[in-house]
Amino acid sequence: MNALTRSLTAYWSSSIGKKFVVALTGAFLVLFLAGHLAGNMLIFAGPEAFNAYAHQLHTMLDGAGVWIARVVLLGAFLLHIFATISLTRQNRAARKQYEHKGTIQATLSSRLMILSGLTIIAFVIYHILHFTARVGNEYNNPELYTYLLDGEEVHNAWKMVIDGFSWWPATLFYILSMVLLASHLTHGVQSIFQTLGWRSKRSSGLIDTFAKGYTVVIFFGFISIPIAIQIFGFGR
């Protein structure tokens, strides 16, 4: 074992090391959400703008860009989950020795984090099957989902999203998942600051407001799409 592997192993075994991994990967995923939301808002600008954006994402670096982004995103997602599982186990083993009432509140909050986290995993799997793998629908059918963008035939991702949310069970599942995502985010964003040591008595109020404000934007931003389509008939 060389020095680097040794120090990485020691870092991973320590609970603070794992907390840092959870916080840094969490921060990355939180930023991804903001970027994804900003791109998704182009749905309201119409098929031209949204399809041009989707086409650009898929053709970046001759198509390699989207795969690089997927690998990095999946890596961060898996690392976030594995570090959390390992940390929870480590904490449980330690808590058994020193059980007292003070841990009850923390346990409730971490249980909610686990529940919302598991819902997010289920949501992401469904979401990828829905819009990326396009399983169980015709979104890959060029006769139905082709858009003419500046003379070039591209995938009509805009129509795919409109059709996707025209089916109410999908809309309902997305909205329910966003509720749990919001719960995970408020606590998660606050914890990132705490773990990185940026939370003090003076800054805690500001951090909590920021975490809540960020969650509100992400929550209403994402649900605005299925609600606009399903309830207000946008694009249909």
Where do contacts with ligand HEM occur on this chain (CB under 6 A)? Answer: 36, 40, 54, 70, 73, 120, 124, 127-128, 131-132, 157, 161, 174, 181, 222, 225-226
Taking the complex as a whole, how short is the minimal distance between the CB of residue 92 and ligand HEM, in angstroms? 27
Taking the complex as a whole, how short is the minimal distance between the CB of residue 52 and ligand HEM, in angstroms? 13
**Closer CB to ligand HEM, residue 62 or residue 99?**
62
* Cα Rg of the chain, angstroms: 21
**Closer CB to ligand HEM, residue 108 or residue 121?**
121
Taking the complex as a whole, how short is the minimal distance between the CB of residue 109 and ligand HEM, in angstroms? 20
Q: Write the single-letter amino acid at 77.
A: F
Taking the complex as a whole, how short is the minimal distance between the CB of residue 129 and ligand HEM, in angstroms? 10
In 10 A of CB 194, how many CB atoms? Answer: 14
**Closer CB to ligand HEM, residue 36 or residue 212?**
36
Task: Classify residue 31 by burial, with Cβ atoms within 10 Å: 0-12, 13-18, 19+.
Answer: exposed
Return all residues near 195 (Cβ < 8 A) that are at least 6 apart.
Answer: 19, 20, 22, 23
Taking the complex as a whole, how short is the minimal distance between the CB of residue 40 and ligand HEM, in angstroms? 5
Read off φ and ψ for residue 166, nearest 5 degrees: -85, -10
**Closer CB to ligand HEM, residue 7 or residue 233?**
233
**Closer CB to ligand HEM, residue 10 or residue 176?**
176
Burial 40-79 (b: 16+ CB within 10 A, else e): bbbbeeebeebbbbbbeeeeeeeeeeeeeeeeeeeebbeb
Cα–Cα distance for residue pair 208/190, rounded to 1 Å: 6
